[in-house]
Amino acid sequence: MRREASKIHVRGLALECALGRELPSAVDALERGEVRTTRLTIDALEPAVEMPFYRVGDGAELGDPRRYLEMPLRVAREALRSAGLSRAELERTALFIGTSSFAAGERDLASFGPGSRRQLGFDPLASELCAELGLVDDAMLFNTACTASAVALVQALRMLRLGQARNVLVLGIEICNRTTPAGFAGLQLVSEALRPFDRRRSGIVLGEGVGGVLLSLEPGPFALELRGGATVLDHFSVTTANPDGSSIELVQRAALADAGVEPREIRAIKAHGTSSPMNDVGEAAGILRLFGAPPPVCGLKSYVGHTLGACGALELALFGAALLRGFVPKTALFGEPDPELGLRPTECNVPAPEGDYLLNYFGFGGNNTSLVLTRSGPWRS
């Protein structure tokens, strides 16, 4: 049975990612199946390492410290604008930020606002965003590896249900820094192509981006609701989910129970789909354990890269906008099924009817999160 609690509406959406710097153009590119990568050179390693990278086409230098405020600020403003909040509502809107690395390794001072010079970091970022946006300077920060902004969405959902807020802006932020790519390259986890669930998959390709999701007790232009969500810890390994799928089944089942939705009601699944050999094994096994014959399963990371802590909000914004356009996207770069997985993701865009959708996010340290998103109509903006 469905939960009878207050509906939590997705009232505002915005993003900047490799597909585009505005939501409509990014969804256009997604619908066409475009993949846009550049090359990134890591000079800090000896010898230097070059790798593919999904970057935001803002025209700025990747090392420009101003990007760490300007990009989140643009996305936050657009999310709030799309939601149509009044000034009084803005003053009662909470800010949640989820990130994995943010400005790790960046020691330069950034100019955050007129006349201010502050060290790069989570707290200065939150304070400057609240000041610029007219929000109460009492942000909550989440740092749970790749699930950071997905966990922020779960906590925002709970806060709204409890009546502790009427609006929560969730930002997922991951902007290229000098440390994160070097770390993943050192761990030999980086591949030349991100191929979710493909037999040839061999690792991740990093990406940068910012996603903004405004959750509210009031409806807005987007016919979407965040129906439910759950976070469950998996102690199998520091870096991978249990390959038998038991932990993935558990978090998906918990999210469905929180939403009051049965597995048979799920129309499609947005997979975490990192393209790493073992993570795709655990996710495929978990989906099959719960669903048996699953609905369509798609991966978005071959379009935007693995945006780490940003992927919760960013992929919800992108996937939600695609649903409102009426399609579940194909899984780009997938071409060869892996018989060991028993799971074949979407190979073309498929229709997205009204109903319930499952979104998966899994992170280092065993922090696994699933969300249930409901589409109840078309894009009304």
Write down the pLDDT at residue 284. 98
Write down the pLDDT at residue 118. 56
- Could you give the number of structural domains in the chain? 2
Final residue in a domain of this structure, among 216, 246, 274: 216
Mean pLDDT calculated for residue range 342-370: 95
Shared-domain flag, residues 234 and 199:
no
Asked about 9 being catalytic, the answer comes back as no
Number of H helices and number of E strands within the chain?
A: 10, 16
Final residue in a domain of this structure, among 216, 243, 260: 216
Write down the pLDDT at residue 121. 77
Containing structural domain, residue 190: 9-216
Q: Is 164 helix (H, G, I), strand (E, B) or coil?
A: coil
Q: Which of 9, 272, 298, 311 is catalytic?
A: 272
345 or 121: which leads in pLDDT = 345
Mean pLDDT of the chain: 92
Q: Is residue 338 over pLDDT 80?
A: yes
Q: Is residue 104 over pLDDT 90?
A: no
Q: Which of 17, 130, 298, 306 is catalytic?
A: 306
**How far is the C-alpha of 157 from the C-alpha of 229, rounded, in Å?**
8
4 in a structural domain: no
4 or 41: which leads in pLDDT = 41
Mean pLDDT calculated for residue range 168-181: 94
* CA dihedral angle for residue 306, residue 173, residue 171, residue 79, rounded to 10 degrees: -90
Final residue in a domain of this structure, among 185, 216, 247: 216
* CA dihedral angle for residue 19, residue 95, residue 248, residue 199, rounded to 10 degrees: 20
Nearest to 220 by CA among 95, 320, 359: 320
**How far is the C-alpha of 326 from the C-alpha of 329, rounded, in Å?**
10
Q: Which of 146, 176, 298, 311 is catalytic?
A: 146
What is the percent of the chain with per-residue pLDDT over 70, rounded to a whole number?
94
**Spatial contact of 253 and 294, defined as CB atoms under 8 Å apart:** no
Mean pLDDT calculated for residue range 194-202: 98
Shared-domain flag, residues 207 and 229:
no
Write down the pLDDT at residue 102. 85
pLDDT band at 119; cut points 50, 70, 90: low
**Spatial contact of 213 and 153, defined as CB atoms under 8 Å apart:** yes
Mean pLDDT calculated for residue range 299-306: 98
158 in a structural domain: yes
Supply the CATH number for residue 44's domain: 3.40.47.10
- Burial class, 70, CB count within 10 angstroms (exposed 0-12 / middle 13-18 / buried 19+): middle
99 in a structural domain: yes
Shared-domain flag, residues 183 and 71:
yes
Shared-domain flag, residues 90 and 113:
yes
Residue with tokens 């109903």: 355
Shared-domain flag, residues 159 and 236:
no
3 in a structural domain: no
Mean pLDDT calculated for residue range 243-252: 96
Mean pLDDT calculated for residue range 153-177: 97
Give strand pairing partners of 270: 298, 359
Asked about 348 being catalytic, the answer comes back as no
